[in-house]
Amino acid sequence: GNSVTQMEGPVTLSEEAFLTINCTYTATGYPSLFWYVQYPGEGLQLLLKATKADDKGSNKGFEATYRKETTSFHLEKGSVQVSDSAVYFCALPHNFNKFYFGSGTKLNVKP
C-alpha cells in the first residue's frame, strides 16, 4: 500500500540557513504528493503539492520536486525565517478516500 517516510526531527537552524526535510514514498502508480505545515496551536495547512513526476511545487519560498527515480519529495527552502518554525508533514493519497501523512518534522529556526 501507499506510505510516506519523513526524516525525524526536530531540525534546528539559524535564520537564513538552507533547509531540507526529506520525504520518501511508496506508492502504486503516481499519486499527487503534498506538503502540509502546522503552526503552533493551529490545524494543518496545505503548503504545496505536485501532481505528476518531475513537477515542482512551490509556495512561500518552499519548493519540492516529485522525483520518480528516487521516490522522493524533499522539501527545501533557501533561506529560512523564524516565522517558518512549525511542523511539516509529507502526505500522499492512499486511495481517493483518504491520505497517509508522515509523522511530521518539527523545524525550529533561531534568530
Partner 1 sequence: NAGVTQTPKFRVLKTGQSMTLLCAQDMNHEYMYWYRQDPGMGLRLIHYSVGEGTTAKGEVPDGYNVSRLKKQNFLLGLESAAPSQTSVYFCASRSHLDGYTFGSGTRLTVV
Name the site residues for partner 1 (rule: CB under 8 A): 32, 34, 36, 41-46, 49, 89, 91, 96-99, 101-104
User: Is the Cβ of residue 42 or residue 69 nearer to partner 1 in the bound state?
Assistant: 42
User: Is the Cβ of residue 17 or residue 63 nearer to partner 1 in the bound state?
Assistant: 63
Q: Position 90: which residue type?
A: C
Q: Smallest distance, Å, CB 87 to partner 1?
A: 10
Please, how many CA atoms are within 13 Å of residue 49, restricted to the half-sphere of its CB?
Answer: 11
Q: Smallest distance, Å, CB 7 to partner 1?
A: 14
CA distance 73 to 62: 12
User: Is the Cβ of residue 74 or residue 89 nearer to partner 1 in the bound state?
Assistant: 89
- 111 upstream amide cis, omega within 30 of 0: no
Given a contact cutoff of 8 angstroms between Cβ atoms, the answer to whether 102 and 51 are in contact is no
Q: Smallest distance, Å, CB 15 to partner 1?
A: 27
